[in-house]
Structure 1
Amino acid sequence: MEAKGVESCNNNKSKANKMKRKEKLEKKKAMDELIKVASAEKNHLSAFRHYQKNGLSACLESGTGDKLSSSLKHYIQNLLKANMEGAYGTEWPVEEKVKRREMVASEARYIFVYEALDANASELLPMSEHEGTSASCVEERRSMLGFVHFRFVVEEDLPVLYVYELQLEPRAQGKGLGKFLMQLIELIAHKNHMGAVVLTVQKANLVAMNFYTSKMRYVISTISPSKVDPWLGTQKSYEILCKSFSNDAKAILEGP
């Protein structure tokens, strides 16, 4: 009887382990499907395509890393260097090579911001309000004002939208455009059932750090080096920030 009891207990443990493995596999399959569906969408700008505020008129276009024209690649490289070389310091030559590879990856999704020739909106207008009454973004656009590079990825077994870059021209900064783009990113994350928006910020970039933590209410994530290992964190030049949209994501990425 004693041996049978042990055998029964082992069988129960085996069944429980099989159930856990099955649940884990099903969860992974569901997450992979979410990422696949979100990444398959080529245009995430169906809701908003125009911005006009604080004397700035802009129109937005979608793009993917594997479809960038040579002129867009050149523009991205130049703006990254102008905006980020100072924040990275001596790390920039190595980081620049990494960013050049990242920007043309098939997983890379873009929002390109162009200065608009003719935008009639007083604030942020849905695309439907422009249809039939104003020119398309292609017809309206002239010089570029910046871009957002983002991807749909899995972090800590959670589907998240990861912002790789948000870069604006100096003349477009301080006019609410960055906040609008981040709000748009959060809408895209919600629409595609992502658990959070995650991004990396250089510690030396105090303006960006203040923007994300104070204006956008992002917090230092539990996966950031300073939270994983405080000593290691002092050796790293960056922090990982996040904004969670579910209790599960908050518990994992933000902690108690």
Structure 2
Amino acid sequence: MESSRVSEKKKLKRREILEKKKAIDQLIKAASAPIDHLASFPSFRYFNRNGLCLRLESGRGDKLSHCMKQCIQNLLKANMEGLYGFEWAAEEKVKRREMVAPEAHYIFVHWNANEMMKDSSPTPSLGFLHYRFTLEEEIPVLYLYELQLDSSVQGKGLGKFLMQLIELIAQENRMGAVVLTVQKSNSLAMKFYISKLRYVVSSISPSRVDPLVGVEKNYEILCKTFDHEAKVILEVHSEGD
């Protein structure tokens, strides 16, 4: 009888695990389905502050025009080549592959001025977010692959505005956290995320998984969690917390 009860408990536990996995898979699939995540947040379609008059537009990796691909590549090179140094050539190839994946979601930042729309050519993009819905340690998360802004629109509150939007999209789609990667050499970005936006170095970051290995890595993984399970698994707690 005892062995029968143990067996039943194991079956029940396995069923619970499988059902949870199925629910999370469906959650990721549902989050990834919409083409325009901005539709739920119409107030974020425009940014009119600090002398900037901008509009936001959604996109997807497998729907990018040739012009937009070139714009993304140029902005990535301008902002990241110096940070990566000699590693940039290899990293650029990786980013080009990631850029056009169907699971890659985008929010583009354009000028919102009538004179920019008189001809039929696409409005030049001043920046973009590249994000995906995925799993980290079995937690559904919005992983922010890129936040890139042209130098002409930096330092005017746009980055914080875009991160507020990303966090809203994550919570709207029931993600447990926003996760992102930052180059250690990018001190401005590190300060922006940790000091201004209150992100923390995640437990999945190389420096937390294995400090000896982490020293050799040129990046940290940061996160902001939205529920208890994500907090316990993805954040790092000091003793006594």
What secondary structure does 1:193 align onto?
coil
Contact 1:117 1:142 in 2 (8 A): no
- In the alignment, which residue of structure 1 is the partner of 2:32? 39
Asked if 1:183 is matched to 2:164, the reply is yes
Asked if 1:146 is matched to 2:127, the reply is yes
Cα deviation code 1:107-129 (max 9, x no counterpart): 000000001116xxxxxxxxxxx
- In the alignment, which residue of structure 2 is the partner of 1:88? 84
Aligned-residue offset at 1:34: 0.7
Contact 1:224 1:240 in 2 (8 A): yes
What secondary structure does 1:184 align onto?
helix
- In the alignment, which residue of structure 2 is the partner of 1:173? 154
Of 143, 155, 158, 2:139 maps to 158
Aligned-residue offset at 1:88: 1.2
**TM-score, length basis structure 2:** 0.92
Aligned-residue offset at 1:36: 0.6
- In the alignment, which residue of structure 2 is the partner of 1:239? 220
Runs of 4+ in 1 over 2 A off after TM superposition: 8-13
For 1:224, give the aligned amino acid: S
For 2:177, give the aligned amino acid: A
Give the fraction of aligned pairs with identical amino acids, expressed as a percent.
63
Cα deviation code 1:150-194 (max 9, x no counterpart): 000011111100000000000010000000000000000010000
In 1, Cα distance between equivalents of 2:217 and 2:72: 25
- In the alignment, which residue of structure 1 is the partner of 2:104? 108
Asked if 1:75 is matched to 2:68, the reply is no
Cα deviation code 1:207-228 (max 9, x no counterpart): 1111110111100000000000
Of 37, 47, 50, 2:46 maps to 50
**Number of equivalenced pairs:** 230
> Relative contact order (C-alpha < 8 Å, sep 6+): which is higher?
1
Aligned-residue offset at 1:86: 1.1
In 2, Cα distance between equivalents of 1:248 and 1:17: 23
What secondary structure does 1:45 align onto?
helix
Aligned-residue offset at 1:9: 2.9
Aligned-residue offset at 1:16: 1.7
Contact 2:71 2:124 in 1 (8 A): no
Specify the structure having the higher radius of gyration (Cα): 1
In 2, Cα distance between equivalents of 1:18 and 1:39: 32
Aligned-residue offset at 1:255: 3.4
Q: Which structure 1 residue ranges, 5 or more long, are not aligned?
A: 1-7, 119-135
Contact 2:128 2:147 in 1 (8 A): yes
Q: Which structure 2 residue ranges, 5 or more long, are not aligned?
A: none
